[in-house]
Amino acid sequence: MMKKMVFAIAALFIFSACEDDTTNEKAVLSVHLTDAPANYEEVLIDIEEVRYNMSAEEEENWHTLDNLNAGVYNLLDFTNGIDTLLVEEEIPSGTLHQIRLIIGDDNQIKVNGEYHDIQTPSAQQSGLKLNVQAPIVAGITYEIWLDFDAGRSVVEKGNGDFLLKPVIRAYTEETSGAIAGVVEPVSAEPYVMAVMNGDTIATYADTVSGEFMLSGLESGSYDVEFEPVEDYIPQAVDNVDVVTGEVTTMDTVTLQMN
């Protein structure tokens, strides 16, 4: 059996939705697996972990994404625009310096109806480690597509054995933005809604700071409505513009008592 391999993938990131508010200072990291077509019947890769590193100074400061859909994946199931979600989980805001894909031992290839173990060259045991250096903003989901090129990653030796030399491309796409702000007084405890063309995304303002964040918003102009407890008067702010990949910060909203 082969030793575990660790591959770090340099990537950019896509801005979409997160359910947190600004007080949590969290973003969401979403990692998808896709593949380019290859001239094999199956290419089975054993994916065990995805890790990330938020520290520029501490090389060993790695954190495991716990919600991984671990298992053996047939890469050829995810060709021609098809992908699968490996993991989606909150990570701290800050700077994401590195990300790693941990591959286990159970890697095989199917050729002419027969399965063959895929060996790993000793030079690849330490894996590939590339820097990312990507800013992570609270309230945004950063989606990464890992394009595992099976055709170039599997090398057939002259004796009929197969080697795994991973060729992975990472790409992203921006899909959404967010609205953030503060409501006063905190005793109003408002339900905050972003409304556009009949669609609504809502959250509650934080009961200590009054902060709120409405995430996962398509670009466009929103009416932001505030529905407080009954002692206060509802209020709305019209035409709040959202730009894909950005957090629009509103001026502080002050609600009046009845």
Residue 165 sits in the same domain as residue 186: no
d(CA 31, CA 148): 13
Domain co-membership, 161 together with 69: yes
Q: Domain limits at 134?
A: 5-171
Q: Are residues 54 and 144 in the same domain?
A: yes
Distance in angstroms (rounded) separating the CA atoms of residues 246 and 140: 8
CATH number of domain containing 228: 2.60.40.1120
Helices (H) and strands (E) in the chain, counts: 1, 24
Q: Does the pLDDT value for residue 233 go beyond 50?
A: yes
Helix (H) or strand (E) holding 11: none
Residue at which a domain ends, from 151, 171, 191:
171
- Note whether 127 and 13 are within 8 A (CB): no
Residue 207 and residue 115 share a domain = no
State residue 225's pLDDT score. Answer: 97
- Residue 79, pLDDT score: 81
Confidence class of residue 109 from pLDDT cuts 50, 70 and 90?
very high
Mean pLDDT along residues 227-249: 94
**Number of CB atoms found within 10 A of residue 208's CB:** 8
Residues 156 and 201 in one domain: no
Residue type, 61: N
Return all residues near 132 (Cβ < 8 A) that are at least 6 apart: 10, 11, 96, 97, 98, 99
pLDDT digit string, tens, across residues 18-35: 343 444 578 888 888 988
The residue out of 136, 171, 206 marking a domain boundary is 171
Beta bridge partner(s), residue 6:
102
Question: pLDDT band at 156, cuts 50/70/90?
Answer: confident
Residues 129 and 191 occupy one common structural domain: no
Residues 140 and 219 occupy one common structural domain: no
165 and 210 within one domain: no
Residue that is last in its domain, among 147, 171, 195: 171
Do residues 50 and 87 lie in contact, with contact meaning Cβ atoms separated by under 8 Å?
yes
- Round to whole Å and give the CA distance between 179 and 13: 19
Q: 117 and 227: one domain?
A: no
Based on the fold, state whether residues 38 and 103 are members of the same structural domain: yes
Q: Which of 196 and 82 is assigned the larger pLDDT? A: 196
Q: At residue 242, does pLDDT exceed 70?
A: yes
Please count the structural domains in the chain: 2
What is the rounded distance in angstroms from the CA atom of residue 93 to the CA atom of residue 69? 23
Distance CA 51, CA 70 (A): 13
Q: How far apart are CA 216 and CA 174, in angstroms?
A: 11
pTM of the full structure: 0.69
Same domain, 230 and 249: yes
Q: Any alpha helices (H) in 139-232, and if so which ranges?
A: 150-153
What pLDDT band is residue 171 in, cutting at 50, 70 and 90?
low
Q: Is the peptide bond before 185 cis (omega within 30 degrees of 0)?
A: yes
Do 70 and 151 lie in a common domain?
A: yes
Q: What DSSP element (H or E) covers 40?
A: none
| 172 has pLDDT over 60 | no
**Tokens 């031992």 identify what position?**
105
Higher pLDDT pick, 243 / 175:
243
Q: CB–CB of 29/52 below 8 Å?
A: yes
Task: Report the candidate in 147, 103, 135 with the shortest Cα–Cα distance to residue 29.
Answer: 135
